[in-house]
Amino acid sequence: MSSSRRIGNAEIAERLERTADLLEIDGANAFRVRAYRNAAEAVAAHAESFSAMVERAADLTELKGIGKDLAAGITALVREGALPALEELSARVPLGLLDVVQVQSVGPKRAHTLWQQRGVTGLDDLERVARAGRVADLPGFGEKTQAKILSGIEAVRRRDGRARLGDADALVRPLLALVEGAPGVKRAGVAGSLRRGRETIGDVDLLAAARDPAPVMAALRAADGVREVLGSGDTKTSVLLTGGLQVDLRVVPEAAYGAALVYFTGSKAHNVALRQLAIERGLKLSEYGLFAHDDEDPIAARDERDVYAALELPWIAPELREDRGEMEAADEGRLPELLTLDDIRGDLHWHTTWSDGADDVERMLEACAARGYEYAAITDHSQALRMTGGLDAAKLARQWEALDAAERERGDAAPTLLRGLEVDILKDGRLDLDDDWLERLDIVVASVHSYFDLAQADQTERIVRALGHPSVNVLAHPTGRLLGRRDGFDVDLDAIFAAAAEHGVAIECNASPYRLDASDVHMMRAVRAGCTIVIDSDAHAAAGLDDMRFGVLTARRAWLGVDQVLNAWPLERVRAFLGRSGR
Ligand code: DGT
Ligand code: CA
Ligand code: CA
Ligand code: ZN
C-alpha cells in the first residue's frame, strides 16, 4: 500500500541524513554512516522523484550510492512512510542529541561522550552539565571547549524567534562600545525593547548622534560577530549577528537625538499615545522632533526630557513605556519612584558547591560583598533534586558546621549571612525537609522542580498547601517557565498570590534571564493582591549574582519601588518579615 502523501526527494534525503547523524552519535561503524550520507546526497541530487520510481518498481540499486539495504529502506519509507533504520535508532538514541550536535564544537563523537558519560540527552542537559563545569573534565574537552559549548547553545536557541534579554544585552554591549567610539559620535545608546527591558528581544535598536553617519555605519558593519549586512545607508544599517540576532543602527544629527530616542525606544503603543497628546496640544511629534504647526525648527528634539517637558509631562522611564497607564500617571503627577539596582541590599537566593553551584560559600560571600550587599542568604537545593546533590538534614547539619567556621573566620564582615535552603515542594505540597530543620532556617525558599504537568487544580492546591506551611518565606520562580524553552505550568496564579499574601510569603522575581519569573505582569498582579516581591539572582556561580539587574529591570516594568521589594529593605525589616529573630 502506498502512503497517501507522496514523500519528496528532499524529505527522503533529510531522513537519511538524520539516520546518519544518529548512527554517528550512536557510535556506529564509519562505513555505515558514510553509506547513509552518500545516499542522502544521491537522493537530493536526483532529478526523478523516488516516490515515482518506487511506484514503477524501478531498481534503485542501479543508482550510484544506493546499495541493497538502502534501496529496501527507501522503498519502505515511500510505501509505509517510515525508514526502518531510523525508527530503530529513534527508539534508542535520544532525539535531543540531534540538537546537541548543532552546537558549535560538539560533533557526533562528542555528543556520544556527553550522552554516555554525562547522561546528556538534549540542549537543556548539556547546558546544565556545562554550567556545573562537568564538561571540561571529559577526555578531549577542556575549559575552552566548555565555554564554546555554552555560547554555542545560545546560538542554536536564538535561531528560532526572539532572543532572551540577557543574551541580547551581552551581545550588544561590545557593539555599543564600538559605535560610541566611532569617529564623530557625540552620543549613542540602546533603544527599542532592549532599552525598555522586555524579557525577550525581537531585534536590537541602536541609536547614535553624529554629523557624518558613514564611519559609524562602517564600524558596525566591520564588528566582530557580524555575519551578514542586511542593508546599509545614510540613516540606517541592519546587520545579522552570528547567532541570528538582528541589530538596527540609526544615526541622526545631535540636535534631533532626543526625539529619535523617544521614537525608537517605543513602544509603538506609547508612541501613538504621545503623538495623540501632541495633537491635543496643537503640536506635531515625529522622530525628528516636536513641532508647532508649520514651523521648521522644533520646539524640542535634542533631549528626551525636553520632548516630554514640552508635552507638559515629566520624563517617563523607558520600562514604563508600554501604554499601561503611564501617560495618565505622568499627567496626574503620580508616576512611581522606581526601584534601582542601587536600592538592592542583598541577594536571598543563590547556590554553592554544597549543591549544584560552581563556587564555594566564601567565594559567593566575597562576591556579595563586592556588590555592596548588607546581607545574603545561602539557599542550596534540598535532597529531592538528587542530580544537584541536594541537602538532606544530615548534609545540612554538616553545611552549618562549615558555615559556623566560615563565620568565625569572617567576623563581622558584611554581608550578614542568612542560612536558607531552596526546599522542593513535593507532589502533594509537603516540603522536602523535616519541620524542626525548617524552623531553624533563617529563610525558606520553596519551589517546584517536579510534576510540571499536574492539572491546574492539583498544581494550585499543591502550591497553596506549601505556602500555608509556617516556615515558608518565599515562593521561588512561581510559574516554572524557561524563556524560549518551556511554558510555565498550569496554575491559578491569583489563588497563589492570595495565599502568599495571607501567609506573608514573598513572591520571587527570579532574575535569571532564563526565567524572569514572576514576570512583570505577574508581579503587578501579585502586588495588587498584597504580596511582597523579592528579587533573587538564583546564582549558581559568583558571576551569576549580576543577573540581579535583569530582575530589577523587570520589577521596574511592574512599576515597583523600594517599598514593595523585600531585598531593598534594611536587614532588621527583612528579619521582621521573615518572622525570625535569629537562631
Ligand atoms: P522588538 O524588536 O520586537 O523586541 O520590539 P521593539 O519595540 O524594539 O520594536 P521595533 O524594533 O520594531 O521598533 C523599535 C521602536 O521603533 C518601537 O518600539 C517603536 C518605533 N517604531 C517602529 N516602527 C514604528 C511604527 O510603525 N510606528 C510607531 N509609532 N513607532 C514605530
Ligand atoms: Ca527592536
Ligand atoms: Ca528594529
Ligand atoms: Zn535556586
Q: Give me the CATH number covering residue 265.
A: 3.30.210.10
Q: Please count the structural domains in the chain.
A: 5
Q: How far is the CA of 123 from the centre of ligand 2 (A)?
A: 27
Which positions ≥6 away from 41 have C-beta within 8 Å?
A: 13, 65
For residue 201 and ligand 1, the question of a CB distance below 6 A is answered with: yes
> Last residue of some domain: 32, 58, 92?
92
Q: Smallest Cα–Cα separation from 341: which of 570, 554, 540?
A: 554
What is the rounded distance in angstroms from the CA atom of residue 529 to the CA atom of residue 288?
A: 42
Task: Let me know whether 77 and 133 are in one domain.
Answer: no
Residue 550 in domain: yes
Q: How far, in Å, from the CA of 305 to the mean position of ligand 1?
A: 20
Residues 284 and 167 in one domain: no
Residue 104 lies in a domain: no
Paired with 209 in beta bridges are: 187, 252
Which atom of ligand 1 approaches the CA of 193 most closely? Answer: 8
Give the domain CATH number at 231: 3.30.460.10
Which CATH number fits the domain that encloses residue 552?
3.20.20.140
Residue 374 shares a structural domain with residue 506: yes
Asked if the structure places residue 196 within a domain, the reply is no
Residue 551 inside a domain? The answer is yes
Residue 360 lies in a domain: yes
Q: Which atom of ligand 1 is nearest to the CA of 275?
A: 29
pLDDT score recorded for residue 4: 45
DSSP conformation class of 64? T
User: Each residue's pLDDT tens digit in the chain (583 positions)?
Assistant: 333 457 777 778 888 988 999 999 999 998 899 899 889 888 877 878 898 899 999 999 988 888 899 999 999 999 988 999 999 999 999 989 988 988 878 988 899 999 999 999 999 999 999 999 999 999 999 999 999 899 888 877 765 678 899 989 989 999 999 999 999 999 999 999 999 999 999 999 999 999 999 999 999 999 988 888 999 999 999 999 877 789 999 999 999 999 999 999 999 999 999 999 999 999 999 999 999 977 889 999 999 999 999 999 999 999 999 999 999 999 999 999 999 999 999 999 999 999 989 899 999 999 999 999 999 999 999 999 887 889 999 999 999 999 999 999 999 999 999 999 999 999 999 999 999 999 999 999 999 999 998 999 999 999 999 999 999 999 999 999 988 767 889 999 999 999 999 999 999 999 999 999 999 999 999 999 999 999 999 999 999 999 999 999 999 999 999 999 999 999 999 999 999 533 3
What is the rounded distance in angstroms from the CA atom of residue 190 to the CA atom of residue 28? 50
Ligand 3 centroid – CA 238 distance (Å)? 9
Specify the pLDDT at position 274. 97
| CB 202 near ligand 1, within 6 Å | yes
Judgement on whether residues 471 and 381 belong to the same structural domain of the protein: yes
pLDDT at 303: 98
The pLDDT of residue 301 is: 97
- For ligand 1, the distance from its centroid to the CA atom of residue 308, given in whole angstroms, is 19
- Give nearest CA residue, ligand 1 atom 16: 264
| CB distance 267 to ligand 1 below 6 Å | yes
- In terms of domains, do 440 and 487 share one? yes
Pocket test for ligand 1, best of 169, 193, 240, 265 (most atoms within 8 A of CB): 193
Nearest CA among 105, 299, 319 for reference residue 196 = 319
Q: How far, in Å, CA of 428 to CA of 51, rounded?
A: 54
Provide the pLDDT for residue 3.
Answer: 38
Instruction: Give the pLDDT confidence score for residue 522 in this predicted structure.
Output: 98
The answer, yes or no, to whether any atom of ligand 1 lies below 6 A from the CB of 473, is: no
Exposed/middle/buried for residue 579 (C-beta within 10 Å: 0-12, 13-18, 19+): exposed
Shared-domain flag, residues 122 and 216: no
3-class SS at 578? helix
Asked if residue 66 and residue 179 are part of one domain, the reply reads no
Q: From atom 20 of ligand 1, which residue's Cα is the shortest distance away?
A: 264
Same domain for 62 and 177, yes or no, is no
Question: Which range of residues forms the domain containing residue 574?
Answer: 341-578
Q: Is residue 107 part of a domain?
A: no
Give dist(CA 56, CA 142) in Å, integer. Answer: 54
- What is the pTM for the complete model shown? 0.76
Does one domain contain both 88 and 216? no
Same domain? For 143 and 81 the reply is no
Q: Which ligand is nearest to the CA of 162?
A: 1
Question: Is the domain of 290 the same as that of 425?
Answer: no
C-alpha 272/C-alpha 276 separation (Å) is 6
Question: Which of 331, 357, 384 corresponds to the end of one domain?
Answer: 331
Query: For residue 192, which ligand has an atom nearest its CA?
Result: 1
In a domain, 74, yes or no: yes
Indicate whether 478 and 446 sit together in one domain: yes
Report the pLDDT value the prediction gives residue 160, as an integer from 0 to 100: 60
Residue nearest (by alpha carbon) to ligand 1 atom 17? 266
Say if 98 falls within a structural domain.
no
CATH of the domain at 13: 1.10.150.110
